[in-house]
Amino acid sequence: MKKIQILGTGCSKCNDLMANAKEAAMLLGEDVELEKVTDLNDIMKFGCMTTPGLAINGQLVSQGKLLKPDQIMKLIRPVNFE
């Protein structure tokens, strides 16, 4: 199960990113754990300097952007051409 963390203090963009992450996981049929990280010290531990931030399995993959569900889907399940 993948863990998706939304990094932000609770602004509207952070809330929208959480909703978009939920939608992306639902569209993919992925079983994910969603977590909101609101403590600034915890956000900084990810190396996130601009919110909202998005981390997947503890790895910061986006910051300062309100990603759309289709963009998040690509981060949750990247295309592998091997």
Beta bridge partners of 9: none
| Nearest-angstrom CA–CA distance, 68 and 82 | 26
Assess whether 11 carries a catalytic annotation.
yes
Beta bridge partners of 33: 3
Is the Cβ–Cβ distance between 4 and 25 less than 8 Å? yes
Q: Pick the catalytic residue: 6, 14, 75, 76?
A: 14
Q: Pick the catalytic residue: 10, 11, 34, 44?
A: 11
Residue in this structure with the two tokens 């601009």, named with its chain if needed: 50
Assess whether 48 carries a catalytic annotation.
no
Q: Which of the residues are catalytic?
A: 11, 14
